[in-house]
Each structure stands twice: as C-alpha cells, then as structure tokens.
Structure 1
C-alpha cells in the first residue's frame, strides 16, 4: 500500500499538478501509461482484482502487477510488487488467490502475503491452467513434438543442424516457423497440490489448441460437472489447414477417454465456448463460411438436455465480438461494433420470441467510447473495460437497469488530469455511390478553427477490422493530434459496425470502392477552412499500408507525404509467401494463375499497387517487420526499392525482430520518433 501511494505521489510530482504547465502527449509519455489486463471479481462481490502492466523503457522490460479495488471505486491497493507474470486460476471465498507462475501452482492471501507453492511438481512449459469446478482435476496446454521437421530431429547424428524440411503447408504462421511441435490439452488429477496421472488428450495429433497465433484460455474449459473438457481445434493439416477456417468444438469425456465433435457441419470458426453455471446450456461464437475469417460472428446456444442448437443473432445485422452468460444463466451479455464504437448488448433468453429474433437483443450502453471487455456481473451491475480515443482502458460499472456507467479504476489519473484532451467528432460523409460513411475526426488540443492545420488520413487495417474508439499504443490519434495534426479516420467499406453487407463489400474489391471511400473522406475534410490543403498526409498499416500504396498511384496530387507499415505492395508475391491462404483466397478472389477467375484477375492486375508505381510522385516512408509472415518482408523491401529507383524521397524503417505489430518498447519509441520525424520533414 505504501509503495502504491509513493508511486502515485512521485507521479504527481513528475507530471506537475499546476494548470500552468499542462502535459503534452509524447511517445515517451504514452509508454508510461499503465495498461489494464485481466480482471476478476472476488467471490463476495466486493472487490475487483486486476493486472496493470507498466514498461521500463530504459531496461526495455515490462512489469505486470495485481491490484485490488472496491467495486464502488476509490483507492486501489497493490497486491504484488515484482515483475513476475501470474495467471490467476481462482479466487477462493476466503480471498486467497490461486495462481500459476514459474511452472507451478501457488497461492497468496488477498494482500499478496503468505505466499506458498501448492503443486508438488512443475508443469514444465505449461500454459492456460484451469482447475475443475470440484478442484480435483486440472487442465493445461503444452507444446509437444508430433512431426519431425527439424533437421536434428530427422537426423539425430547431426544435433547442431538448424535445417527445416517441409513437404507440405503450413510451414510458418504469424511470426514462427513450424518446428513439428503442437500445443495439446493435458488433463491430470489434482489432490491438494499433488499432480498425477497426466494425460495428453490429443496424443499424436498434429493440431493446436489454443488456436495460433492468438488463442488462449478461452479455447478450453471444464464442463460444470467436471466430467468433460470442451476445447477448440482446427483438425486439419498441411494445405487443408492453410486454406480453411473451420475450427470445431470437441468434447472429451474424461472417464471414457473419448472425443466427440459437437459442431459437425458448422463450417466456419467456432470459438470461445462457455457454459451456464448449472451446465444446462453451452454457447459459443460461430461463423458460417469456411475460409472467411471476417464472416458474421453469431452466438449459438445448445440445450444440453435436448441437444437442440439455436443461432441467437442470426437475424441481427451485426457481428459479435465477445460474450458472457449472466450469473443466473437467463441472459447473455455481449460486445459488438456499432456505428464506430463497441457497445454492450444483452439477449434475454426468457423472452418467447422467434429464435435469432433481433427483438430479443437490447443495447445497454451508448456513447463515444468502446466497451473493450466484460469482466464480471453481479446482480444489476456488470463490470466492463472501457476506452476512448483520449483514454486508455479503465474499469467501469454498468447499471443493467439504465446503462449508466461509473468509473471504478483510475490507473492513469495522475497523467490524464494534466493532459489537454483532443476533441473527437463524428463526421458523416457521402461516398461516391451515395452511401453515408461515418468518420472520426480528431483535433489537436486547444484547437483554433481560425488556424490552418496539416491533416492526416488514417487507413485502417484488417481489412475487416472495426475502427472504433479503441485506444492504440502505436497508431495513437491522441499522440498525433498532440503534435499539431488533425486526423480523419473513416469507417470505409469493409468495417463491421455498419451492417453485414457494408462489411462484406470489401472482399474481392480491395482497390475499388474502399479506396474511393478514402478519397471521399480526405476531400470532405479538406473543404474545412482550418485544413491546410497543401499539407495532407496519408498513413496506415497492413491493409491500411496496402491502401497507402494504392493511393500513392491514384491520389492525383492530393497528398504531400505517405507512411506505410507492413503493407501489401505486390499481390502476386504476397500470395506466394503469406501463411493464411484462406484470407487471400477469400479477399482477393483466389490465386493469380487462374486466368478464368475474373475477380482474382482484377485483384492481381487492376488492384495491385506494384502495377501503379509508374504514377508514384510523392515522398513515402516504409516500415517493415522482419518476422512478419502475414505480410512478409519482400512487400516492404519491394516498395522501398521502387521508390528509391524512381528517385523519390523515401525512408525504410526495418524492424528485424518485430512481427505484424511492434511489441518491443524501444523499437516502439523508435517507430514513433521516425514517424513524426518523417512528417516534420515532408509535411
């Protein structure tokens, strides 16, 4: 407690409470913000236990600690004070916290004291640890060798070899080369810390649970009676794996040792299974179309007694991000994009309406913010994570009666109290096909409409990723605005939150209407007298980087500078090197050698940025991660080399150890500094 208060007081001294010396958001200040992590409600419903990660830029390290705060808000108490990363498994009724750390199960009291190790032996390299409801069994995941791919595994007499031998796809994924190991689910007996009879329930299978690259504990769970395990898996291998999104839910009977596929015939992603507390219902998120990773995500529910399945959101014209059952099992709370935000909704399962009827869905929250996650529910209150373009994520309490919200945590109060905020406005723009497009406009702090400001068009990635009020630690609009830039961020074609059809329209049309939407957005904001039309810039990553490359060839001198991060430059070479072929097959229309496929041929010819390089005439900065296998290195290098050979002012920022993101703190600071240096030079 004393340590927490001293940190707070030092922070106040550093950031100066005087109104005469307001802060300015900088890359360094952005990385001083605490980042909210996982959150648990104590069994008595009186406190929230949450993690906060802080970064030390000098040492390039992070420290995640646990805090406790009353559900009514107030002063948070630090429970832990060291850089150890702890996975909370359970909070006991007496307040004891059971957690996994350093390959073992531990416990500590509610104050972080009386720490003791519970497990009698290490669960080496285990992850996603969970206890059964009765506490007698445990499940976890471990990478196990299944296929001999490494040269030293194929030829034991050559142990120093670093060779890989492949005869099929998928040979790498996200930022990791396939090494023949697969993440499997293990179950074991657990008796007051004694772990025994460990069993790999996926023994010999070349499949992963959780799903790579970003799956976690949400991919597996015990049934409430503790007799079975539900896990998510895509039981496909090689080329079939690389071209399919068909994950299924599997139920493993612990006593019988048998496994059953409970989503047979459901062809898209089936993920995040969850039971009611009584175990009478199982729900999960489901997509219909195999190969379409951004298909409409629905909530499907199964009655355990009858076996009947119902799609609860089938007739609702939006997609679901995440969900949670209410404590009594009578409602489902879920988060979904809505008009440039992420909001909280509920389905009342007691209403006698047609299955999937949108009338059964009620929006609980409204406002210029994102509900970023559901933490817990107790009675008429649900605790959520909330963010907006000026504030990193904090905990809020939501009234289920009227949707009113009360802030609970104040992780970054000592900074935000002295930081001038940007004005964020919702702007509606007519597109070239006479549709209404929402855009967020972010203005510099202390914006003066009598002045003229350089303006940035932000191009979102995805391409079917919602552009909402999420708070980013890289593409941070608050940071950009603080440097004196207006930012316009349009919800162009392909983004969820504006109906299923709007979301689908980008597939097969990457360089068509979405690019026109971007031009409509910059032309619309450029009409304002406070926008300096001679100082317009265009920035983006992933599909946003692709958009930058496309716009560089069709912008007709609108822009003075471009910045592209991990963008797709040449679609033919990209198809030959990217790892998730289902994505390319769906969004580009197929492969480039099928000359009879008109959609694909249009993608590879008309909508291929490398075919427009002859029209490039503007300075461009290119950023490329060396371990990005989604948009591999030749994309950034090809674009940079083309710009250099054309004699354009250009810069390459190469990050050899970064994937599609920028995760290392000092690399992130360099990213920000080079980003703004380039804008200062060219805009």
Structure 2
C-alpha cells in the first residue's frame, strides 16, 4: 500500500497513504480501517475501506467507493456498516459481509441529508441501536443543503454571538443526534430499520451536539440504556464562555417517537469543557472528563465517573484533592473501558509524547496515579480486545500509521501488527534521526526540545538550523506525525530541525502551561532565546549563522515578536503562517474567551497588557527577510493580520513575500494547496540559508 521513496519530499508526505484508526471486531481477529491517497500526477484522490487480519497484518479491500466512509462493525457476525454520500445530498447506509468479500454490498437505508459520526450498540439479540449526527433545521428536520430552499438575498443578520466561527458563518441550523434501531440481524436481507428521529427536537432550551467547530464522535456515546452527550450551556454567550455540560437521554428501545428530555449531569465546581463521555461495557456507568474554569479552553480536564446512570446526582472525581487542583498534573483526553469494565485506558500528553495510561475504573480504587503503558510516539486511538488486550492506533515522527496490540504481562508489552511506513523506511526515514534534549528555561524549570537530523547526516559536518515554534499557545511538538508541520520535511532539505516546547506548552505540567498567561512575549520568548543559546554552545553540528525560524498561529505571533526583538537578528529568514500582527486586534476573532484568559481580561479592562505584547509596537526593529502566509477563510485570525505585516515589510523595503489561499482556513488542507505551501516555504528559507535541495 506504500511505495518506497528515495527522499522524503513534500510530494511524498502529501501523497503517502493516510490510514484511519483501525477498529477491531468483537473477536479481535479482524479490524476495519480506511485509507486515502492523493496523486499529483492525475490530481485525483483514491479512497478504500479495508479489512485487516490482525494475526497476519495483511488486509483485503472491502470497497474503493470514494463516497464511502466510517466503516463500523455491525453486531457479532462480521457484518460491516458504512456511510455513503448519495445523490442530491442524501446519505446511504451500506452493509457488507467481511467474511464473504465477493458478495455485493447492499444499501438498506437512505437518509435525506448528510450525516456522520455513526455509532452502534447492541440492545438485545435482535436489535442494534444506531446514532448519527447532522445539521437540524429549526423545525428539527435533518438539513439537506442540496435540496433546501435558497434565499433570494445573501444578507446575514445577527443579534448575538457567534457571527462566524473557524471558517464559516453561523446559521440557524444546529448539529444534533439522530437515532434509530436495526432489527432482526440474522442476515442483511432480513434486516429492518426504523426512520431516524432527532434526539434533541422540541426542547424548550435548544441544545447542540457535537459542539462546533471541532466536535465529533467523541462528543457523545450510545448504549442499550440511551445516549450521553456534551453541549454548550445555551444560557451563556458561547464566545465568552467555554462551559459544556454532560446530558443523559434514557432510551430503552431506540424506537421512541420522541426522546425523553435530556437530563443534565451536575459536577459542582467543575464548570468548564466536558468531553469524551463513554458508557461502560454493561451500560450502567459513564466516564467522562471536565475542566474547572468556564472561560479557559486549555484548563486541565479531570476524570469523572457516574457509577450508576440512573442516579445522576452521584458523580465521582478521580485523583480529587482538597484544594480543588487535582493530584494528576496531566490533561486526560480520550477514555476507553476495558472489556470487563474494571479498568480505564486514558490518553494524555507527557514530555512530548501522546501516552496511554491505565487506571482502575473506580475513583475509590485509583489510589495511585495512572501508569503509562505506552510511552513512545503518539497514541491516536484505543480499542479494547478480549483477554484485557488493547488495540492501539498511533503515529511517530517517522511513521504516519502504526497498529499494535498491548499485551498485559507480556515481556515485550507491545506487538506491532502493521506499520504503514515500516518504521519510516518507506519514506527514507529512520528513528535514528530523532533526538531530544532539555535545557534551562527563563526560570526555575527545564524546557524540552525535539531534534530531527537529515537522514544523510554526517558527523563532522555542519547543517543550518530550522527553529520551529508551535502554535496554541497551549500546545506542543509531540512525537507524532503531521502533514502540515512535519519536521522531517525540513530535515530532509538539509536542516537540523529543533522544535522546542517553551512556556505555554502542554504535557509538562500545568505550571509550565499556565505560565504563559500575561506573558505572551515574555517567558516563552526568553525560553526560545535560551534554547538558541544552548544550540550555539552545545550542538557543534549546527550552523546557527544560517538559521531560519518558522511558526504558525501563536507560533506566527512569536515569529512576528522575534522579528522586532534581538533574537530576530539571529535568523537569515522568517516565516509566519496565520499569525497575530497586533494583539489589539483580538476582538476581530471569534472565541473571545481566549484573549480574555491569556491577557487577563477584556481590552477595555486591561489594555496595557494587550499593548505590552503587541508585535506592532516594535516595527522599527523589523529587518529580517520575512514570508507571510495568511488564508482568507481564517476567521480565528482574519486575513488583515497577514496583510498588515506584509504591508509593513514592503513599505520598509525588507525582502518579503505574501502567500494566501482564498479557500483555506487556519490550516492548509487541500493537497494541491499544501504542495504550493511547502514549495514556497522551502524555497524561501533555502534561499536565505544557502541550502541547495535537489
């Protein structure tokens, strides 16, 4: 499924097969996954759904229909269900037999609109609950943009926030969960399905889930006892508050004409984001996560348990402390139950890795902090297997898809089932290229940094530095794959890539992360300065006189900040992607809780703090050649934040270039656009660093 590459180029990165997480069947013998590729020769995409033999690591094609997506096991008979985009905006539910791949898949239901995030759960021997999500009209019907009546005017009128979010204007149509039941599953031809029903229709106070703009299947779960989901508090302004609550809808048959009113799960002083609700195997309990602050999107999530879904007043917190801060200093993300319901498996960042942790499923038994059972790479998905084994989907800095099995009490601990890039070899990469170091930060703490060397690195030679600055700012460079900011792409041009995780970075404890509040250009900048000084003194194979610096989002802010400060004179060229030109313009964004938290209040309450970290205050110092990239559909940082610095650079006569994509948002996602992005960026930094790339 992959073709070996002599050199890891942007074309190889963007055309390499992209595999989804894999989902094993009930027996743990087969797994479903999808894989897509893009060809720069034919300028076209291919997409497949495949069945993986977990024992051999080999896979077989189930369908190569471009419109097929989200394969899901249906019951215990190795039937596979997937969604297929149909004509006029409809969605078809298609079923096939994974044990008889020669049999033609059958369409057993057509839905009048686009749906996604499909989940199934067995109710009894003959019935399976099914839920999907889609946009609902104000009347509660599934919205179909292809058949909806088109307005005669393009006017948009708003009297509350949001006006627009991420890359689109907010409309009257809201995300919702639609449910039904599949009955008599002895065979495809005997299967019946009831019409979809909107679980959130006719509510006195409207609720929306998944939560835009990034909500998905992790925002809800289903079981034989009903649906749990998270939704924004409809009584609060969503632009200024992050509060999302957990709700429970008791359903017994999934044939109810009208779903019962959602019941809220109250969590005391924890009033921030709720996330990752998941039913226990017996459907009696629910584990989920919730933050404390209702105005801080990157607050620490706490693990919570509802032991008995029929008693929502009993909510228990894992690792609770009297001061309310919680004993576990990491940020739990996804949650999975073991098959026997006795343990939880939780993903969380730690020291530049996306680790997997194990803990007892009861807070009363979780007397010790969770144990990391997978410590390398980044775990992207986890599924429970029989015999307490765990199926893991993960990535690394040199491999974009690894399937493995965690085996308790086995000396090896982890068995690789399939590696998309054979540990990097397919891409001409090797784990030997990846290193890391720690250095003293601006205060009494250490800062971690990743190093990626060229595959053709030779001892005794010097290579220019590519200094990568991550966004967020509450984010991190982790030991995981990326198709947007991949360190290996820069390394293979001939750079030593250093990717530091300074103040504000996640996965190093909340003190380091929260230290960026009111310090945007302070401690993080000093950490980066000290990192550069460490490289100068300790890495004799790095030619710092030919250094370049690049960053996006907050990383773009920092590059703009560096441009106006002494560190900016250390670089031959700079690259800002969708960055902040002036912190005084934060109110042109959408999620206002973000600057309110990081700058310590509103603009009118604390203007001096916004001004303190404003890159535009230091324009007189700008002198380094600078590439500015900014996209038209970036509503989080509108395009004026890119046009303004380019205008300054041009007016001052500083060598500069401006790149924009009218059809991209904060990210560049389309393959052809991404290829242009990479070529422009690499040509720019290579020109000023003196790198010659064949």
* Same-fold status (TM-score > 0.5): yes
Alignment of 1:432-447 (within 5 A): 432-447=442-457
Q: Tell me what 1:376 maps to.
A: 384
User: Offset of 1:551 from its aligned partner?
Assistant: 0.7
Q: 1:519 to 1:202 in 2, by over 3 A?
A: farther
User: Offset of 1:675 from its aligned partner?
Assistant: 0.6
Q: 1:286 to 1:200 in 2, by over 3 A?
A: closer
Cα deviations by residue, 1:486-523 (Å, 9 ceiling, x for unpaired): 11111111112211211111122111101111111111
Task: Give me the whole-angstrom Cα distance separating, in 2, the residues matched to 1:406 and 1:158.
Answer: 54
Q: Tell me what 2:262 maps to.
A: 259
**Aligned: 1:126 with 2:115:** yes
User: Offset of 1:470 from its aligned partner?
Assistant: 1.3
Give the secondary structure class of the aligned counterpart of 2:194. Answer: strand
Task: Give me the whole-angstrom Cα distance separating, in 2, the residues matched to 1:326 and 1:366.
Answer: 19
Task: Give me the whole-angstrom Cα distance separating, in 2, the residues matched to 1:211 and 1:642.
Answer: 38
Question: Of the candidates 657, 662, 671, which is equivalent to residue 677 of structure 2?
Answer: 671
- For the Cα contact (< 8 Å) 2:433–2:455, is it kept in 1? yes
Structure 1: unaligned runs, 5 residues or longer: 1-6, 16-22, 148-152
Q: Tell me what 1:587 maps to.
A: 598
Task: Give me the whole-angstrom Cα distance separating, in 1, the residues matched to 2:14 and 2:486.
Answer: 11
Task: Give me the whole-angstrom Cα distance separating, in 1, the residues matched to 2:207 and 2:383.
Answer: 30
- For the Cα contact (< 8 Å) 2:630–2:642, is it kept in 1? yes
Task: Give me the whole-angstrom Cα distance separating, in 2, the residues matched to 1:679 and 1:384.
Answer: 37
Deviating more after overlay: 287-296 vs 272-281:
272-281
Task: Give me the whole-angstrom Cα distance separating, in 1, the residues matched to 2:336 and 2:583.
Answer: 39
Q: Tell me what 2:274 maps to.
A: 270
The alignment covers a number of residue pairs equal to 646
Deviating more after overlay: 637-646 vs 120-129:
120-129
Q: 1:158 to 1:272 in 2, by over 3 A?
A: closer
Q: Tell me what 2:458 maps to.
A: 448
Task: Give me the whole-angstrom Cα distance separating, in 2, the residues matched to 1:373 and 1:466.
Answer: 19
Q: Tell me what 1:537 maps to.
A: 548
- For the Cα contact (< 8 Å) 2:399–2:423, is it kept in 1? no
Q: Tell me what 2:242 maps to.
A: 245
Task: Give me the whole-angstrom Cα distance separating, in 1, the residues matched to 2:221 and 2:454.
Answer: 46
Question: Of the candidates 395, 398, 401, which is equivalent to residue 393 of structure 1?
Answer: 401
- For the Cα contact (< 8 Å) 1:188–1:199, is it kept in 2? no
Give the secondary structure class of the aligned counterpart of 1:86. Answer: strand
**Aligned: 1:333 with 2:339:** no
- For the Cα contact (< 8 Å) 1:231–1:249, is it kept in 2? yes
Alignment of 1:507-522 (within 5 A): 507-522=517-532
Question: Of the candidates 554, 559, 581, which is equivalent to residue 548 of structure 1?
Answer: 559
Q: Tell me what 1:431 maps to.
A: 441
Task: Give me the whole-angstrom Cα distance separating, in 2, the residues matched to 1:64 and 1:412.
Answer: 18
Deviating more after overlay: 44-53 vs 289-298:
44-53
**Aligned: 1:565 with 2:577:** yes
TM-score scaled to structure 1, two decimals?
A: 0.89
Task: Give me the whole-angstrom Cα distance separating, in 2, the residues matched to 1:349 and 1:199.
Answer: 32
Give the secondary structure class of the aligned counterpart of 1:88. Answer: strand
Q: Tell me what 1:601 maps to.
A: 608
Give the secondary structure class of the aligned counterpart of 2:103. Answer: coil
Task: Give me the whole-angstrom Cα distance separating, in 1, the residues matched to 2:329 and 2:149.
Answer: 60
Q: Tell me what 2:218 maps to.
A: 218
Q: 1:508 to 1:414 in 2, by over 3 A?
A: closer
Alignment of 1:618-637 (within 5 A): 618-637=624-643
Task: Give me the whole-angstrom Cα distance separating, in 1, the residues matched to 2:399 and 2:56.
Answer: 18
User: Offset of 1:35 from its aligned partner?
Assistant: 1.3
Q: 1:312 to 1:482 in 2, by over 3 A?
A: same
Q: 1:323 to 1:198 in 2, by over 3 A?
A: closer
Cα deviations by residue, 1:102-134 (Å, 9 ceiling, x for unpaired): 312221111544334453442422222334422
Cα deviations by residue, 1:349-400 (Å, 9 ceiling, x for unpaired): 36965x6x4x152121234x22232133332421112222111121111222
- For the Cα contact (< 8 Å) 1:396–1:407, is it kept in 2? yes
Cα deviations by residue, 1:297-317 (Å, 9 ceiling, x for unpaired): 221111116542222143111
**Aligned: 1:25 with 2:25:** no
Deviating more after overlay: 660-669 vs 461-470:
461-470
**Aligned: 1:176 with 2:158:** no
**Aligned: 1:647 with 2:653:** yes
Deviating more after overlay: 450-459 vs 198-207:
198-207
- For the Cα contact (< 8 Å) 1:36–1:394, is it kept in 2? no
User: Offset of 1:146 from its aligned partner?
Assistant: 2.9
Alignment of 1:400-415 (within 5 A): 400-401=408-409, 404-413=413-422
Q: 1:136 to 1:454 in 2, by over 3 A?
A: closer
Give the secondary structure class of the aligned counterpart of 2:556. Answer: helix
Q: 1:112 to 1:642 in 2, by over 3 A?
A: farther
Q: 1:243 to 1:546 in 2, by over 3 A?
A: same
Q: Tell me what 2:297 maps to.
A: 293
TM-score scaled to structure 2, two decimals?
A: 0.88
- For the Cα contact (< 8 Å) 1:99–1:105, is it kept in 2? yes
User: Offset of 1:412 from its aligned partner?
Assistant: 3.1
**Aligned: 1:467 with 2:477:** yes
Q: 1:194 to 1:390 in 2, by over 3 A?
A: closer
- For the Cα contact (< 8 Å) 1:146–1:206, is it kept in 2? no
Task: Give me the whole-angstrom Cα distance separating, in 2, the residues matched to 1:217 and 1:476.
Answer: 26
**Aligned: 1:54 with 2:37:** yes
**Aligned: 1:233 with 2:248:** no
Q: Tell me what 2:286 maps to.
A: 282
**Aligned: 1:107 with 2:95:** yes
Structure 2: unaligned runs, 5 residues or longer: 86-90, 140-144, 184-190, 320-325, 690-694
Alignment of 1:357-372 (within 5 A): 357=367, 359-367=368-376, 369-372=377-380
Q: Tell me what 2:26 maps to.
A: 43
Alignment of 1:475-486 (within 5 A): 475-486=485-496
- For the Cα contact (< 8 Å) 1:538–1:562, is it kept in 2? yes
User: Offset of 1:194 from its aligned partner?
Assistant: 3.2
Give the secondary structure class of the aligned counterpart of 1:548. Answer: helix
User: Offset of 1:186 from its aligned partner?
Assistant: 2.5
User: Offset of 1:51 from its aligned partner?
Assistant: 1.4
User: Offset of 1:216 from its aligned partner?
Assistant: 1.0
Deviating more after overlay: 103-112 vs 577-586:
103-112
Q: 1:351 to 1:420 in 2, by over 3 A?
A: closer
Task: Give me the whole-angstrom Cα distance separating, in 2, the residues matched to 1:257 and 1:418.
Answer: 53
Q: Tell me what 1:638 maps to.
A: 644
User: Offset of 1:158 from its aligned partner?
Assistant: 9.7
Task: Give me the whole-angstrom Cα distance separating, in 2, the residues matched to 1:209 and 1:202.
Answer: 12
User: Offset of 1:661 from its aligned partner?
Assistant: 0.8
Q: Tell me what 2:330 maps to.
A: 318
Q: 1:580 to 1:403 in 2, by over 3 A?
A: farther
Q: Tell me what 2:509 maps to.
A: 499
- For the Cα contact (< 8 Å) 1:106–1:115, is it kept in 2? no
